[in-house]
Structure 1
Amino acid sequence: MAEIPTLVVRKPCFDLPTGCPQCLSAYIYLNFAKIPFQLNFHVNHPHSDKIPYFEIGDDYVLYDNENEGIIQCLRKNAGVVDLDSEVSSLPEWITIKAVITTWLHDALVYELWVGSKGSSAYSIYYSDLPWPIGKVLSSKKTRLVKLKHGITDDNAVAKKEEIYERANSAYDALSKLLGEKNYLFGNRPSSLDAIFLAHGLVALQALPESSTLRNKFLEHDTLVRYVRKCKTEIIEAGPQTHTDASSSGFRIPSTQRQKFKSEPKRKKTDEEKRFKSKGRYFVAAQLVAVAVFLTLMISFDFAEVEVENVDDQG
């Protein structure tokens, strides 16, 4: 019996199988493609750009930071059904792809890390880490997001309005495109459906009720209906799993099978094993960081007491 592949993602939260938008889009894509897979969770390196990744046995792994991301890797390199083959040539495909992968992507990243003060993002990425480490990583990410968008104290309000206006324009366009159809491009899902649905699910369920982006999304009934339908049919149903993967339609292309046969000893000995083995060191580093943090805090408090005593004596 063939081994069922594994999609490794960030942990579940907000009543979603994973709170990470990138992980969730891969999860939805595999379900759309009717590919059997198991779901596993990686918590040792929540900030790693390798997550999500897709493992096929001991010989093949696809990371999100490879090529154009995990979905493109699944389409081109893992024998997964290419859901875009019949729609990627449509005139509106490039425009809609740009809208989803830039305007909406940027808006959700901004909202997670800046607009909502990072509370949802912390739950998704860092809540399993010791508090000092999580706060440091979260603050670093927030600074990077602001830097990417060129946000300063002087232009913060204008930048925020620009990001939300673009997101709302994207929602308007997608709502009109979707209409009464089952999917964005007709009766068959595509990778853009998977990416957008992940965006919508996170916006509706992970963002706080006060979120500007969430409220703008809720103004588009067609999109809300589409996302909730996805949640009922895909998310609540769970991943595609079968006892016999060989009869499920999952096939590795002959070129890939030949590659595996010619390199039977490759396994996950280099990049993959280093990545996983770092988990032990990462945990140890967490403990050291906590100890250092507490030591500094105690030293700081002691120094304050000494200063206060000197002042009192003066």
Structure 2
Amino acid sequence: MEGASETEREFTLVARKPRFGLPTACPHCLPVFIYLKLAKIPFRLGFNLTFPDSGGVIESLKEDGIVDLDLELRSVPEFISSKAMISSWLEEAIIYELWLGSDGTSAHNIYYADLPWPVGKLLYLKQIRSVKQRLGITKDNAERREAEIYRRAKIVYEALSTMLGEGYFFFGRPSSLDAFFLGHALFTLQALPEASLLRNRFLEHGNLVRYAEKHKSECLEAVSSSSSDMHFPPSSSASAPREGPSHWSSKPKSKPKREKTEEEKTFRKRAKCFLAAQFTAVLLFITIMRRSDDNELDLDDDDGDLDYD
């Protein structure tokens, strides 16, 4: 968040780009967006692929005396425990779904869609290894940890469903609990695939679904079809030549081709060899990473984790 002045502040929330009909597809940025909407704080969205600045924003707003939706709830045990479950067990479930519990399509669209394929693929594989390390998943305990993650998510959904009932907010007024859970709920419903186990677990609780739908139109600005979320297919003129009419013959006379010098021929040959070597190196690197992942090599805790934001 960036402030303009003490008298008339203009804030900017730096986040990842919109996708899936959400104003930002980042599962960490979305709750901050919703918190600002619930607090009715005017702000603009700025998009950054590398450093979305959402970490600690809500706490900063409280500490700076700008807005604190939790002022009367800080000592309420149910509020504290519910927030803790969302920020731990549900966050764990989202991370698992994005990187390990699905085919990776959602994660690719959020984090790597704008990167060249080799770079995106390498970062994706590296992040999978990092997620396994963060969640404590190994080849020996993978099934047990998966069952545990979904079991915990089910417990949280059941507890929150009971607490909410048919209320409009969890504690009768907007709070950071609503912001965090709405961010999780809308991301789960719109960003995860229909076959997602977590999404289907969420759909079992009708009141939670209604709660998310009721607040969706109020908290989320519609993402227009002209936004950066659109995926433009390659133009037909670039992907394949168009067939002209049968009498098409009016081609301009081509200029005679200049004979390439021996130096130019050598340069082109070297350039092709260099590109081939680079491509081969990328394939070898991907193969090695896959094999090492299968063998569950022990990694140091400091082995280059990527920022989830």
TM-score of the aligned structures, taking structure 2 as reference length: 0.69
Distance in 1 (CA, whole Å) between partners of 2:278 and 2:139 is: 30
Matched, 1:218 2:179: no
Amino acid at match of 2:11: P
Question: Quick one: distance in 2 between partners of 1:147 and 1:156?
Answer: 11
Cα distance per residue 1:198-245 (max 9 Å; x no partner):
11111000000110000000101111111111111111468xxxxxxx
Q: What is the CA distance between 1:92 and its match in structure 2?
A: 1.1
1:81, CA displacement in angstroms? 1.0
TM-fit CA distance, 1:296? 2.1
Alignment counterpart, residue 131 of structure 1, candidates 83, 108, 117:
117
Deviation at 1:80, TM superposition (A): 2.5
* Matched residue, 1:76: 63
Match of 2:14, SS state, is strand
2-side partners of 1:205 and 1:28: how far apart? 15
User: AA paired with 1:145?
Assistant: V
Task: Give SS of 2:21's match.
Answer: coil
For 2:275 and 2:216, the matched residues in 1 are separated by: 42
SS in 2 for 1:21: coil
**Letter of the 1:52 counterpart:** D
Verify the 8 A CA contact 1:7 1:38 in the aligned structure 2.
Answer: yes
Residue of structure 1 equivalent to 2:217: 232
Q: For 1:48-106, what per-residue CA distance to the aligned partner results, in whole angstroms no more than 9, with x for missing partners?
A: 4xx234xxxxxxxxxx1xxxx222122213x4310000112112122111111111010
**Contact 1:33 1:80 (8 Å CA) reproduced:** no
Alpha-carbon distance in 1 for matches of 2:9, 2:274: 44
Please give the residue correspondences for 1:14-25 in structure 2 after superposition, counting only pairs within 5 Å: 14-25=20-31
* Shift in CA distance, 219/300, structure 1 to aligned 2, threshold 3 Å: closer
CA distance in 2, matches of 1:156, 1:81: 42
2:13–2:53 contact (8 Å) kept in structure 1: yes
Counterpart-to-counterpart distance in 1, 2:175 and 2:149: 26
Structure-1 residue corresponding to 2:292: none
What is the TM-score of this pair, normalised by structure 1?
A: 0.68
CA distance in 2 between counterparts of 1:292 and 1:93 reads 59
2: CA distance between counterparts of 1:177 and 1:5? 33
Over 6 Å off, 4+ runs: none
> Which protein has the larger Cα radius of gyration, Structure 1 or Structure 2?
2
Q: Is the 8 A contact 1:26 1:70 kept in 2?
A: yes
- 2:33 is equivalent to residue 27 of structure 1: yes
- Inter-partner Cα distance in structure 2 for 1:161 and 1:93: 26
Q: CA separation in 1, counterparts of 2:218 and 2:145?
A: 37
How far off its partner does 1:24 sit?
A: 0.6
**Which secondary structure does the structure 1 equivalent of 2:77 belong to?**
coil
Task: For residue 5 of structure 1, report the CA deviation from its aligned partner.
Answer: 1.4
1:204 to 168, 175, 189: 189
Contact 1:10 1:52 in 2 (8 A): no
- Find the residue that maps to 1:181 and give its secondary structure: coil
Residue 173 of structure 1, CA deviation: 0.2
Corresponding residue of 1:309: none
> Structure 2: which amino acid aligns with 1:29?
Y
In the TM superposition, residue 293 of structure 1 has moved relative to its aligned partner by: 7.4
State yes or no: 1:171 paired with 2:170.
Answer: no
How many pairs are equivalent? 228
Pairing of 1:251-262 with structure 2 (within 5 A): none
Distance between the aligned counterparts of 1:149 and 1:92, measured in 2?
26
**Alignment pair present for 1:13 and 2:19:** yes
